[in-house]
Amino acid sequence: MAGGVNRKISAASARAHTRRAKQNSSFQLPPGMFTKALVALFIGFSAWTYQAIQPPPSKIIGSPDGPPVTAPFIKLSDGRRLAYKEHGVPKENAKHKIVFVHGFDSCRHDAVVAETLSPETVEDLGIYIVSFDRPGYGESDPNPKRTVKSMASDIEELADQLGLGHRFYVIGFSMGGQVLWSCLKYIPHRLAGAAILAPVVNYWWAGFPANLSTEAYSQQLQQDQWALRVSHYTPWLTYFWNTQKWFPGSSVVAHSRDVLSDQDKELMTKLEKRGTYVEQVRHQGEFESIHRDMIVGFGTWEFTPLDLENPFPNNEGSVHLWHGADDGLVPVKPQRYIAQRLPWIHYHELPGAGHLFPHADGMCENIVKALLTEG
């Protein structure tokens, strides 16, 4: 009778057998599942990012969900509404007609020249001033197609529809001062004179020496340097950058006083009256007002102000550039360079003055009298 065969199994063989059994029984993703999961995650993240960088739609004036119409306005050739406010003597009796262009995060009520001129000066010189809401501000419709050139066209249409005559004066403050370079480029034949007050500088304008623009740019707060970079290089991120909470956005958008000069801080008390209308400035939304300002103002321009020609070769008018030597928002050195490159500009540098110098007592009297009397 045959006997059974006894086989001894080594411990090593037993462990190997156990490992193979565990491997065979472990969970495995179906082929391609991991790749599909990564793709789905990427698509989800991209969708979230797209939503995060999209600004909300504007609340159009006069629409069911928008603010009411309270100001007089004109209809531009493209159908947009442009709201305005008149100051001074009636335009029918005026000797001098002025269009005032407000600055960043402001509106037609922020017409510092009209608000601070003495009644005697207004009457003696026969001054009429019209201020207006730039696109997206106050009660003027947004202009998603806004360009450097379109602002000059808006001003020309405003003057024509209000009957200001073939020639009129322009005064612009801060970002509104920057707009006047466009007027000098595109509608110089319509101007009787221009006063450019503390104009914002685009550090990417062609013609600035590299060391000058770099030095002036580096004088900005670090957070403002980043905000300007975003506006210039990735304008589609401007809204996101200035509304997200991970990094500080523009200090100007946030109304920080860190960049104000000593004089500016003293003059801030004169701006307390803005409390009666400040909510109107952005009530259509931030993107088509302050963020569009940054995108256009610090974007790639169609021209450089440093190549402008004298609009008054026969001294029939004059262009004045005023700037505070202690301006912490817009460094003074680029303005000095512009004045050197364009010797036909009457340059006024104010020692000890900051960005808000037009609000100083008597300052606008000097600005307007220089504009209207110097040829």
Closest CA to 191 of 74, 336, 105, 308: 308
User: Which residue carries 């905000």 as its tokens?
Assistant: 227
d(CA 167, CA 153): 14
Closest CA to 267 of 216, 328, 320: 328
Please, are residues 148 and 305 in contact by the beta-carbon 8 Å criterion? Answer: no
One-letter amino acid at 269 equals T
Per-residue pLDDT, 34: 62
Tokens of 13: 């063989």
Burial class (CB in 10 A: 0-12, 13-18, 19+), 88: buried
Secondary structure string (H, E, C) spanning 266-311: HHHHHHHHHHHCHHHHCCCCCHHHHHHHHHHHCCCCCCCHHHCCCC
Tokens of 339: 């004045």
Please, are residues 205 and 307 in contact by the beta-carbon 8 Å criterion? Answer: no
Per-residue pLDDT, 247: 86
d(CA 127, CA 368): 10
Closest CA to 267 of 353, 335, 200, 336: 353
User: Which residue carries 């900051």 as its tokens?
Assistant: 354
User: Which residue carries 């159009």 as its tokens?
Assistant: 60
Report DSSP state, residue 239.
H
Over the chain (375 residues), the average pLDDT of each successive run of 10 is: 47 50 54 63 54 78 90 97 98 97 97 96 97 97 96 98 98 98 98 98 96 94 94 95 89 90 94 91 94 97 97 96 97 97 98 97 97 83
Q: CB-based contacts of 55: which residues, under 8 Å, 6+ apart?
A: 239, 285, 286, 287, 288, 291
Q: CB-based contacts of 188: which residues, under 8 Å, 6+ apart?
A: 309, 311
Report DSSP state, residue 10.
P
First to last CA, the chain: 135
Closest CA to 94 of 188, 172, 169: 169
Per-residue pLDDT, 307: 97
d(CA 77, CA 36): 52
Q: Which conformational region is residue 345 in: left (phi greater than 0), alpha (psi within -120 to 50 degrees), or beta?
A: beta
One-letter amino acid at 128 equals Y
d(CA 252, CA 77): 33
Per-residue pLDDT, 73: 97
**Tally of CB atoms within 10 A around 375:** 10
210-218 vs 222-233: helix crossing angle, rounded to 10: 130
Per-residue pLDDT, 21: 47
Angle at 168 between CA 86 and CA 300, to 5 degrees: 95
Q: Which conformational region is residue 285 in: left (phi greater than 0), alpha (psi within -120 to 50 degrees), or beta?
A: left
E strands present in 15-56: none
